[in-house]
Each structure stands twice: as structure tokens, then as C-alpha cells.
Amino acid sequence: MKRLISLSFVVLGLGATSAILAQTVGGLDLGAIEGRDPAIAENAENLVKQALTRGKTAVESASAVVTSSEANLRRAPLGTAGGAQGPMDFDAILAGAKGNLTAPRGGPMLVAFASLSMPEASLKRVIGDVTQAGGVVVFRGFPGGNPARFALAMHKLVEPRQAASVLIDPRLFRAFGVEAVPTYVAVSSDYVPCDSLTCVSDVPPFDRLVGNVPAGFALETIAGARGPGAPVAEAALARLGSAQ
């Protein structure tokens, strides 16, 4: 049985801001991204489906979900967050889908579910703290089916060393029943996400906390509840504390 830790929070409204976006930002050719096949831009799942149905096997058409460095998902109990140095490679996120098909991959044991609808400062802090703690930050897909908008946001929010720990994987949203962000999940043991675009993974017991709170607070709450996710939360807290 999973344990659900519920919190209620008051969310302060933020004023909207506007900006004129350049066609090329920090090495990302947004024009080229926007110029991709329009069917690809509908959402992350359709993008992956179209990219991989060009393959020769049924596995390729059913299994792939866009991720950035799926190899970073395997944790024992938690892996080291980080990625290659240099500008974030948006094409690498798309190419990561094919890497999912080579062999079964273990799912992440510490996950923060996020969205670009979150306040920018909060999202940046979640990405920084969760990757430092050894977890991953997962998005459901492209906002409004717009890869260029997602690429620009990642360029602003994600440091190169964090890029491998930022994923797009709608399977994980379904597996843990995530309907609001941010949501923090700590899983009790290894598991392998299911291999189709619409499946629901069978996952081991886990703890879940929903609320716009810092990662450290979420981990302390999960650890203190002594549920199935407590050992992972404690290990993550130790990593986070050692870096501060």
C-alpha cells in the first residue's frame, strides 16, 4: 500500500511578464525546433511515437518516451545527479527516447514531478535541490505542444550538470497517480517502468507528498512518516545536507 502525505498550501499569485524571444538562444536553434514536423509538436508522446515508428520493430513503436539520459535513472538507492558539461542539448532529450529501447531500465526512486506552470523561482529551486539530492525532475510533456518553449525554459532553468536529471516521461505521472505539481515521490525498491505510451506501470510501495514546498521539507516529512519511502528520503536528505 502506498502512503499519501497530504498538505494544504496557500499559493500567492504572480504578475505576468512578457518577453520577446530571439530565434537562437544559447546555442539552441529555436527556429529549427519550431520547424519540425507539426505532428511532432502536438505533445511529447506524439513526438516520440512518430520518431520511433520509423524503426523496424514493434518495440520501437510502443516503448519509447522522451527522456534525457535514461541511464541516469538506475539508482542504488540513489544515483549521482549531473550531466555533461556545456550547453544543454535539446536534441539529446529527443534522442534519449531511442535509448530507452536497448534494455529494461530501472525507474528513479526519488522523483519530483514538475511543470512549467510553476513559478520560475520555485521550479528552479526544485530542479537544483532534487538533482543535488540524487533524484530526477520529471515533466509530462511539452507545454501547449511547443518544443521551442520547453527548450527555452530548460536553457534558463537547468544548469549543464543538472541536465541528465531532467526528464520528460508521462509514464511516471501515470504510474504514481500524479495530478498536481509539484509532487514528490520516494519509492521503496527498484522497478521497471512499463513499455508503452499508454500503459500504467506496476510500482512498489511509495510515499507521495503534494505541495509547493522545498525539496528538503518534503524529504524530511517523508522520512519522518517512516513509510516505505523513508529510507530513500533519508539518503536524499544526507546528500542534500552535505552540499549545503
pLDDT, tens digit, 9 for 90 and up, residues 6-26: 433 322 222 232 222 223 333
Q: Which helix (H) or strand (E) holds 167?
A: strand 166-168
**Tally of CA atoms within 13 A in the half-sphere of 161 that contains its CB:** 8
Backbone dihedral angles phi then psi of residue 114, each to the nearest 5 degrees: -140, 175
Q: How confident is the model at residue 242 (pLDDT cuts 50, 70, 90)?
A: confident
For residue 93, what are the domain limits?
27-242
Q: Is residue 201 part of a domain?
A: yes
Mean pLDDT over residues 149-156, rounded?
94
10, three cell numbers: 496557500
Q: Say which range, 18-22, 59-63, 176-180, 208-212, has the weakest mean pLDDT.
A: 18-22
| pLDDT score for 232 | 97
61 domain residue, yes or no:
yes
Q: Note the pLDDT of residue 198.
A: 86
**Angstrom distance (rounded) from CA 221 to CA 210:** 11
Q: Which three cell numbers stand for residue 124?
A: 528552479
Among the listed residues 56, 147, 137, the one whose alpha carbon sits nearest the alpha carbon of residue 94: 147
By three-state DSSP, how is residue 210 classified?
Answer: strand
> Taking residues 96-100, what's their average pLDDT?
41
CA distances (Å), 168 to each of 69, 111, 113, 223, in order?
10, 12, 10, 26
- For the chain, the domain total comes to 1
232, 186 contact by CB (below 8 A): yes
Is 222's pLDDT higher than 50? yes
Confidence of residue 48 (pLDDT cuts 50, 70, 90): very low
